[in-house]
Structure 1
Amino acid sequence: MRKETIVENLNAVGERIVTCCNNCDRDPAEITLLAVSKTRPAEDLRSAYTAGQRHFGENYLQEALEKQDALSDLDIRWHFIGPLQSNKSRAVAERFQWIHTVDRLKIAQRLSSQRPDTLAPLNICLQVNIDNEQSKSGIAPQELEGLAREVVQLPGLRLRGLMAIPAARPNRQAQRKPFIELARLLQSLREAFPEEQLDTLSMGMSADMEAAITCGATIVRIGTDIFGVRNYPE
């Protein structure tokens, strides 16, 4: 994609964030824009970086590692936002600052043990299957506190909050329902673990970003509205 188009799109998304925050009495500085860059070439990420974007989210590990090598001269904050297999956890532990998709203890334990001592603890979000969809990853809401109790004891990790990918809904009011529930779950964790820095709600994408922000999102994951419709390989 043309660099100019990416810059224009980033500016448009930024304006949407500011407008939404003004409408719901939030500070736009509370919102981190995560550019979802899966399937995009490294040069597109470089264009976004030169426009001021610093946080990038990748779903596919091998693709992400290739981009990290190609963009090693840039101070990018890398977020892993895809499903993670146990046998691929080491690369995430060693080369990312965030992972949003932890939903079982085994993965958390591996990430913690594989996080290099020379790096700060890996920031993680627990992924919640907020709509109980068979096709999606994530822990059931009723199992969340038990997993969190185990995770906060792992020295290589820092539990920051929750992530969800709700089912598509037809309008803003309907979109708010799962986001309100995820915010409620985070508040419950804050009460259960007052000593932890539970400050993150990773929720909202291109189609439902505004609904997520009004419900307390602190990270919005935007791909299509920055980089355009993806062309997946056959």
Structure 2
Amino acid sequence: MHSDIQRRIDLLMNDTASSLSRSLYFYSPSRHNSKEGNALRESNALLHLSHCCLNQGWAVFSEAARHEQASGGLDLLAYHPDLKVQMRVEGKRLIGAESFGKILEDVAKINRFQLNAHDNEGAEILTPSRCIGLIVAVTHSREIADWWVSTEAVSDAVEDERRRGVRAYLTDVETGAASTAQAIHFETWFEGKGLSQNWLLYAWHDVAVSTETMRT
């Protein structure tokens, strides 16, 4: 089923990049655009991803709350009723060292997230056949995009601790996103002139789901 999930996510993300590019033909919502680019805020990618999920049969929930409190929800929660797959999504704008650390925080958030079973007792989304965590990032840096999909070993002298942490996640076969990382190039900014280049990055991993019903 791994290859089927990969195929479905690849389709979702390619549709998302195309949808983004179509809208960005008319207007750029980011500032200080140039030929070197300026990464969009991740909310733009998540908006278009939500649209593409709906078109492909997923039920979608924005800012889904955790069971124990109203704040600190997932950026996006999706469920495919035919596949019985739950998908937890976190998005980031990946433009510097600090944002690499945020990626690791998002992975941890996805892994420990517990759905609001108190208000959804018996809902099939609480007991999926599979749960996956999807990390979505936007960058204007070709170097970061190339790095995201690279499988070449890099010395500790070249990468700081946060990059090494993300690298470990992207290559971890047991609990990480090994062999799933992709980067999709798309043009942005003003009437299709291609004055700014961006990449949509993503990777996913399996998430263990507790079978216990959480109650508040």
Larger fraction in strand: 2
TM-score when scaled to structure 1?
0.33
TM-score when scaled to structure 2?
0.35
